[in-house]
A and B are shown apart, each in its own frame.
Chain A
């Protein structure tokens, strides 16, 4: 019992840490509909698996005899835990202590967690609930000087993007470095109506522009999960966020050196869906339900869509075929006709990089009329953002399969695969492709002839008809310019077989990719 007094002090200090901020602050946090950081951890990780690091860190005051009088714990709680049996690093800001401000973490605990995840080569989950990096300008008074901003540990966070899965959730109103930690992730979530993300919050913005603004209007989910692309998915409750985190991680390996976790699948490979035969309308102008198409092909219930509302003409997500995880790309013809605009280009590039980083074979169910046209698209820089996406296609080394379900037009249409390597490519009988669609292309190519004709409209129609007769995808397949045309109902079986085949040698592409990964 020699050290019993010290053990008693250890227990007491741990207990103080578990009390978080003052009881009234915890109460206020609950009243706003938030869980505390420790409640969040309990819901996220497997029972009894959280091994905390740095529970003793905090700011203490002592009485005249040198006994601990008061203790304010570090506002960053972190450690190693398991999620669905797999080891991860988890860390979360404690809003009840100094509003979760990063300088209340004490001794660089947040950076320590990032470094730990990189060294252990396990995913990291960031539950961000902090009001900012420097916390406040009060720091100037505390240290008696100003300081040049440094973004502590950014080199570790940057490296982590290329090596381990990073999931970030915005749990409250978060600004500055907190917002940066959410955006610098592979998958991010925010709580509808109860979390906001911004570079700077309402008081700073009001000072800058002289206009008051509400936090929800400045950085709510309707902005970041719907158009800015800063956050991928929105949920209604914190509990739903934890379910999404678990689901996202279930498709990914623990790090870039490993293969995605394969699970048992009860869905038969030869499930033939009659609906696929009628899904694409004969009228080329008509859209269809592309999400339904994906769901009919992949393992039942396995499609997990990411960032639905950003660049919505491009669908991205994770799924399984025969229990093996894959990255899914598809086009939504109900949004801008499925064309590639600036946001869709950014999304295409970012998720090709994600799939490639974590060794997920890519399946591209392609129906794309090309880049978005018009003044708005040109002004948004679609040409540069689009060619960036094409570079991502050519840098990816994971196995790639493309099913051209309908259109592939122009430079963007060519981006359905890397034409300098072998790809598993096939088309549905609805396949329709070229440099320019015949309707607009005729006017461009035969302008002089059309203008010189006695009846230009009739001549244009005649030309269109003549060329359309040669539009059958079978003619392309004759020339082996399209490797195969398949019965859409066989798509699932063929892709299941291909995925099984490529998983046999998938370890040869494992490891961090030369291109690195940017958020």
Chain B
């Protein structure tokens, strides 16, 4: 298990994966918008998306868990 966390606060602008998707390390999973910039939130490691905890337009704080990856 690994958490995908928001590296900085912002609005969830784009969601690039769905539960069950296999992802590579560093693959962009979400795009956050803050300070007029779109920031990719990458996968901390390879795995399968087991849970997505945010929806488009949600506001997330820095460190908030956005998704979980299973092995």
What residue of chain A has the Cβ atom nearest to residue B61's Cβ? A376
Provide the residues of chain A in CB contact with B8, threshold 8 Å: 336, 372
User: How many whole Å from A283's CB to the nearest CB in chain B?
Assistant: 8
Give CA–CA (A376, B61) in the complex, Å: 10
Q: State whether A333 touches B37 (Cβ < 8 A).
A: yes
What residue of chain A has the Cβ atom nearest to residue B28's Cβ? A334
Give the total of A residues in contact with B, Cβ under 8 Å. Answer: 20
Provide the residues of chain B in CB contact with A339, threshold 8 Å: 35
Give CA–CA (A376, B64) in the complex, Å: 14
Interface check A373, CB cutoff 8 A: yes
Pick from A336, A437, A439, A440 the residue with the most CB of B within 10 Å: A336
> Taking A374-B9, A376-B62 as contacts, is the C-beta distance between A334 and B35 under 8 angstroms?
no
Interface check A335, CB cutoff 8 A: yes
> Taking A285-B33, A374-B9 as contacts, is the C-beta distance between A337 and B39 under 8 angstroms?
yes
Provide the residues of chain A in CB contact with B7, threshold 8 Å: 335-336
Provide the residues of chain B in CB contact with A335, threshold 8 Å: 7, 39
Q: State whether B35 touches A373 (Cβ < 8 A).
A: yes
Give CA–CA (A337, B40) in the complex, Å: 9
Interface check A284, CB cutoff 8 A: yes
Which of A285, A336, A373 is within 8 Å of B38, CB to CB?
Answer: A285
Interface check A286, CB cutoff 8 A: yes
User: Which chain B residues (1-40) contact chain A, with CB distance < 8 Å?
Assistant: 7-9, 33-40
Q: State whether A369 touches B39 (Cβ < 8 A).
A: no
Q: State whether A369 touches B36 (Cβ < 8 A).
A: yes
Provide the residues of chain A in CB contact with B39, threshold 8 Å: 287, 333-337
Which of A284, A334, A376 is within 8 Å of B36, CB to CB?
Answer: A284
Q: State whether B38 touches A287 (Cβ < 8 A).
A: yes
User: How many whole Å from B6's CB to the nearest CB in chain A?
Assistant: 11
User: Which chain A residues (277-322) contact chain B, with CB distance < 8 Å?
Assistant: 283-287
What residue of chain A has the Cβ atom nearest to residue B62's Cβ? A376
> Taking A287-B39, A287-B40, A374-B9 as contacts, is the C-beta distance between A337 and B62 under 8 angstroms?
no
Provide the residues of chain B in CB contact with A337, threshold 8 Å: 34-37, 39
Provide the residues of chain B in CB contact with A440, threshold 8 Å: 36
Give CA–CA (A287, B41) in the complex, Å: 12
User: How many whole Å from B23's CB to the nearest CB in chain A?
Assistant: 17
Give CA–CA (A376, B35) in the complex, Å: 14
Give the total of B residues in contact with A, Cβ under 8 Å. Answer: 12
Number of A-B contacts (CB under 8 A): 40
Give CA–CA (A334, B62) in the complex, Å: 15
Q: State whether A369 touches B62 (Cβ < 8 A).
A: no
Give CA–CA (A383, B50) in the complex, Å: 40
What residue of chain A has the Cβ atom nearest to residue B40's Cβ? A334
Q: State whether A369 touches B9 (Cβ < 8 A).
A: no
Which of B9, B36, B62 is within 8 Å of A285, CB to CB?
Answer: B36
Provide the residues of chain B in CB contact with A284, threshold 8 Å: 36
Give CA–CA (A440, B39) in the complex, Å: 18
Give CA–CA (A286, B35) in the complex, Å: 12
Q: Mark B32-68, 1 if CB is under 8 A from A, else 0.
A: 0111111110000000000000000000001000000
> Taking A336-B7, A376-B62 as contacts, is the C-beta distance between A287 and B37 under 8 angstroms?
yes
Provide the residues of chain B in CB contact with A286, threshold 8 Å: 38
Q: Mark A353-374, 1 if CB is under 8 A from B, else 0.
A: 0000000000000000100111
Give CA–CA (A118, B4) in the complex, Å: 47
What residue of chain B has the Cβ atom nearest to residue A283's Cβ? B38
Provide the residues of chain B in CB contact with A336, threshold 8 Å: 7-8, 35, 39
What residue of chain A has the Cβ atom nearest to residue B35's Cβ? A337
User: Which chain A residues (428-449) contact chain B, with CB distance < 8 Å?
Assistant: 437, 439-440
What residue of chain B has the Cβ atom nearest to residue A370's Cβ? B35
Which of B33, B35, B38 is within 8 Å of A369, CB to CB?
Answer: B35
User: How many whole Å from A158's CB to the nearest CB in chain B?
Assistant: 35
User: How many whole Å from B25's CB to the nearest CB in chain A?
Assistant: 14
Q: Mark A50-77, 1 if CB is under 8 A from B, else 0.
A: 0000000000000000000000000000
User: How many whole Å from B46's CB to the nearest CB in chain A?
Assistant: 18
Give CA–CA (A372, B10) in the complex, Å: 13
Provide the residues of chain B in CB contact with A437, threshold 8 Å: 36
Pick from B36, B37, B40 the residue with the most CB of A within 10 Å: B37
The 9 A-B residue pairs with the shortest CB-CB distance in the complex, in nearest-first order: A337-B37, A285-B38, A336-B8, A337-B35, A334-B40, A285-B37, A286-B38, A439-B36, A376-B62
Task: Provide a sorted-by-A list of 23 A–B residue pairs whose CB atoms are within 8 angstroms.
Answer: A283-B38, A284-B36, A285-B36, A285-B37, A285-B38, A287-B39, A287-B40, A333-B37, A334-B40, A336-B7, A336-B39, A337-B36, A337-B37, A338-B37, A339-B35, A369-B35, A369-B36, A369-B37, A376-B9, A376-B62, A437-B36, A439-B36, A440-B36
Apart from A372-B8, A372-B35, 18 more pairs, CB < 8 Å: A284-B36, A285-B38, A286-B38, A287-B37, A287-B38, A287-B40, A336-B7, A336-B8, A337-B34, A337-B35, A337-B39, A338-B37, A369-B37, A373-B35, A376-B9, A376-B62, A437-B36, A439-B36
